[in-house]
Amino acid sequence: MKNIIKISLASLVLLSAALTGRAWTYADGDALLIFRDGTHDVEFDLGNVSQFTGLTSGQTKVVTNWSFNLVTNTFGADLTINGDGVTVLLVAATTTNAWLSSVDPNTTAYNPGAAGLGSIYGLVSSVGLRPITYTVPTNATLQSYVIGVSGSGNAGKYKYASYDYIVSGGTYNAITKLGGVAPFVDEENIPGSLDLWSIQSSSSTPQPPDNLVGTFSFTANGVLTFVAGPRPSTIANATRLGTISTVSFSTTVGNTYTLAYTNKLGGAPATWPVDTTTLTGDGTVKSLNHTNSATTEFYRVIAH
């Protein structure tokens, strides 16, 4: 018989970050929030990416240590695709890991290897450090730069420190894919949402997949919110044959999934027993089985 499926999501915990005043002091692993329209880049150093990777699944963080006014003062009041056509992205990198935003559904594991990860690190760290080298005027309180991406002579003297110039190698090509190093588009229109992926690099076989750290949402009036963890699964089907129930559901590449179950509703979902069988998502619909003798049972899919 087909069972009733109910997905229980973790409670959302609202966290807020205080705006802190400090000079631009980029360090490896800092998350760079970048707005661009092809004429200027507005770049913010949000601090270490652990503020996003360190959250538990389901936690929500409203990102406030940047300035929407600086963005609109630079590009105009209407940032949407029908207005000024501004896009937004977020990147971070160390010598051993990288985090890239993405608007594409990542349905395959992307492992760049040591050389590819080194290329990502080189580009991201250059975006963080080169404005200092070129003494680009900065807003120290906001940890931000406004940089023109082109021009000649005095008008274009800072362009070599811009995100557009650095990631494209001065060609202004493939900017939306980190100069071609990333296999996916890493920027989104406003309003919109951005996935944040942890990019893996390993010599092991099989290669470890990327991991979805969480999702940013950006409203037209400048509210930037991050929700940690994988997206909730959508139940595709549930069947029962003999004592074996099979639940099919959507997955996200790199995240692991288990089934929680109960034959009596009313208790807190967090107290439901969890089947020990796990699987790793690959972006397609996958299935988990559970053996039970109960005539009726309820399931929820847990993403880790």
Q: Do 264 and 272 contact (CB within 8 A), yes or no? A: no
Tokens at 23, concatenated: 């000079």
Question: What's the pLDDT at 23?
Answer: 63
Q: What is the pTM of this model?
A: 0.79
Pick from 97, 103, 52: which is nearest to 228 by CA?
52
Which residues, 6 or more positions from 241, have their beta carbon under 8 angstroms from its beta carbon?
A: none
Which residues, 6 or more positions from 43, have their beta carbon under 8 angstroms from its beta carbon?
A: 32, 33, 34, 35, 127, 131, 144, 145, 146, 147, 163
Residue 166 burial (10 A CB sphere; 0-12, 13-18, 19+)? buried
Residue 56 burial (10 A CB sphere; 0-12, 13-18, 19+)? exposed
CA–CA gap between residue 95 and residue 28 (Å, rounded) = 8
pLDDT tens by residue, the chain, 304 residues: 333 333 332 322 333 333 333 468 999 999 999 999 999 999 999 999 999 999 988 899 999 999 999 999 999 999 998 877 899 999 999 998 999 999 876 666 677 878 889 999 999 999 999 999 999 999 888 899 999 999 888 778 999 999 999 999 999 999 999 999 988 899 999 999 999 999 877 655 555 567 789 999 999 999 999 999 887 788 898 898 988 999 999 888 777 899 998 988 887 888 889 999 998 887 789 999 999 887 788 889 988 7
CA–CA gap between residue 113 and residue 207 (Å, rounded) = 9
The structural domains of the chain, with segments of one domain joined by +, span: 14-228, 235-303
263: left (phi > 0), else alpha (psi -120 to 50), else beta? alpha
Phi and psi at 51, nearest 5°, equal -65, -20
CA–CA gap between residue 259 and residue 286 (Å, rounded) = 12
